[in-house]
Amino acid sequence: MKLEGSYDVPAPRQRVWNAFLDPEQLRQAIPGCEKLEALGNDEFKATLKVGVAAVKGTFEGKVRLADKQPPESYRLGAEGSGGPGFVRADTLITLSEIEGGTRVSFSAEVQVGGLIAGVGQRMLGGVSKMMADQFFNRMSELLQSS
C-alpha cells in the first residue's frame, strides 16, 4: 500500500527537523504511542496501541532513521508486530521551506499482515490518513508551544 501526503507546519525548517528527530516530541505526537526509547545509532524501540475497526492491539517494534541530509530529508524504516499482525513501512520524508514555515512531504510504502490486513485497503488507508493528520496537528502544536 502506498501512502503520500504533505503538511505545512508553521515553524522554521531547522526547528521542524530537530523536532522530527527528538524521541520525546515524537512520542507525544504519534497517536497511540506509549513508549519511544532511543537505542542509539538512529534506532528507536516503540510501543503503540492501535485500533483499526474491530481490530485493536499493541504493537512493539523498531524505527530506524537513514540517509539523513539535514535539514532536507531522511528515510524512516519501521517494523512492528503484535496481536493484530505486523506492519512494515519505508518512508521518505522531505522538508522544504515555504512562506510562514515548512512543508513536510512523505511517501511511504506500507505492508501489513495478519488480522489487521483483513480490514481491507480502503479502511487501512483512511485510518492511516487520520493518524497522519493527528500526528502533524499535534507536532504543529508542540512546535508552537516550545
Assigned C-alpha cell, 76? 524512516
Q: How many domains does the chain have?
A: 1
Distances (CA, A) of 129 to 71, 72, 98, 140: 25, 23, 23, 16
Judged against a pLDDT cut of 80, whether residue 5 lies above it is answered with yes
| 29 three-class SS | helix
The arithmetic mean of pLDDT across residues 121-142, rounded, is 88
Judged against a pLDDT cut of 90, whether residue 125 lies above it is answered with no
String of b and e for 57-70 (b: at least 16 CB within 10 Å)? bebebebebeeeee
Task: State yes or no: cis peptide before 84, omega within 30 of 0.
Answer: no
The pTM of this model reads 0.89
For Cα atoms 1, 73, 68, give the angle at the middle one, nearest 5 degrees: 105
Which range of residues forms the domain containing residue 12? 2-145
Judged against a pLDDT cut of 90, whether residue 10 lies above it is answered with yes
**pLDDT given for residue 106 in this prediction:** 95
Neighbour order of strands in the sheet with 2-9: 2-9, 101-113, 85-98, 73-82, 55-69, 43-52, 33-40
The arithmetic mean of pLDDT across residues 117-127, rounded, is 82
The predicted-structure confidence for 26-74, as pLDDT tens digits, reads as follows 999 999 999 999 998 899 999 999 877 777 889 999 999 999 999 999 9
Quote the CA–CA distance of 139 and 10 in Å, as a whole number.
10
More reliable by pLDDT, 124 or 42: 42
Which CATH number belongs to the domain containing residue 117 in this structure? 3.30.530.20
The predicted-structure confidence for 75-121, as pLDDT tens digits, reads as follows 999 999 998 899 899 999 999 999 999 999 999 999 989 988 888 77
**pLDDT given for residue 19 in this prediction:** 95
What residues contact 25, with CB distance under 8 A and at least 6 apart? Answer: 19, 139, 142
